[in-house]
Amino acid sequence: MRVAAFYHSLVSDWNHGNAHFLRGVVRELIARGHTVEVFEPRGGWSRANLQREPGGPAAIASFVDAFPGLESREYALEQLDQDALDDALDGVELVIVHEWSDHELVRRLGAHRRAHANCRLLFHDTHHRSVTRPEAMAAYDLSSYDGVLAFGEVIRELYLQRGWAERAWTWHEAADTRLFRPIAGERRAGDLIWIGNWGDEERSQELHEFVLEPVKSLGLAAMSHGVGYPQHALDALADAGIRHGRWLANYQVPRAFARYALTVHVPRRPYVTQLPGIPTIRPFEALACGIPLICSPWHDSEGLFEPGVDHLVARDGKQMAAHMRALLADPAMAAELAARGRACIERRHTCAHRVNELMSICAELGLDTTTHNPPREQALEDHP
């Protein structure tokens, strides 16, 4: 099957977690023998910001080495008129377009679908804008789309209830286990690592309660990585004794996890208060790497994980500190928790599972998912 994906970026994951999942899905499709072409806008904000990040240009240059077989085709919307778009998609059977795409691109892709009966067109929503910016989402013209891939059941229901789409499927993110896996033999660098962006003050209070204050009270050796940290956040990290390592390339995360005893997940507030059942990509990746995970409260309404078995949940900062202390004091308990979390990912939440789900959706839409290329595995080199 020939597949085209229009995403904000394949190459850059600077404040762009969707790139993590996209890479894994594309690699899985290619490994099965499908032909995939990814389009990303020239001058997109994620790639532009990565260019300004220390180590960013080197990360962009080394993308092919980090992800062999993956590449993207940049486009300028003003040059991608209807004829050019139709030519670019000649023979493509499945098109997936991400919700960070320009409204005009979404409209032109809909026009392409109307003129090409053999093509199927899906809109992919992986953000909280359906509840935080509904007017922006309602402005997308999805009238010619075959459906929506929503990364949570609550978002799927919103599209149907609000009449934004006639068909929608729940398609959670998942871990690319070709990349996210336990790394043995790393020297321990500290107790706790938190990888995440500060971001728009959507969880500042929660980060203080569930990360900074427990780390400070326990005197832990801790590290954070991410972008979007204002000066007051950097000052708070320093006050808690947490080192800040700025942006970290996604392919370096497994090795970073291997150097610490545990990690935490603190969801942004919209996922706690308005979008239950959506953990976003970080817990999938942490569990896949076999590191013990503690979460601040979120309602796993879709039963993706088993709290207390695959990961621990802290109802408040005091319990977070207690969980941290217990895991650090009992390596056997920590190892058992990590092993169960890893097993949950392997059993249910890999990119291979999601591609299986995508193939079922394609079959439901009448596509022939037979591959014409021999399946192949892609090697992934370890990166320091």
Q: pLDDT tens across 333-363, in order?
A: 999 999 999 999 999 999 999 999 999 999 9
Question: At residue 378, does pLDDT exceed 80?
Answer: no
pLDDT tens track for 274-312: 888 888 899 999 999 999 999 999 999 999 999 999 999
| pLDDT class of 379 with cuts at 50, 70, 90 | very low
pLDDT at 269: 87
110-118: list long-range contacts, CB under 8 Å, 24+ apart: 110/141, 110/142, 110/143, 110/144, 110/145, 111/82, 111/144, 112/82, 112/85, 112/86, 113/144, 113/145, 113/146, 114/144, 115/86, 116/86, 116/89, 118/93
Sorted by where each starts, the structural domains of the chain and their CATH numbers stand as: 2-174+350-364 (3.40.50.2000), 190-347 (3.40.50.2000)
Mean pLDDT of 159-167: 97
Are the CB atoms for 206 and 212 separated by under 8 Å? no
Q: Report d(CA 271, CA 273) in Å as an integer.
A: 6
| pLDDT class of 376 with cuts at 50, 70, 90 | low
Full DSSP string of 200-229? TTSSHHHHIIIIIHHHHHHT--EEEE-S--
pLDDT at 366: 97
pLDDT at 272: 85
The mean pLDDT of the chain is 94
**What is the pTM (predicted TM-score) of this model?**
0.94
pLDDT at 377: 58
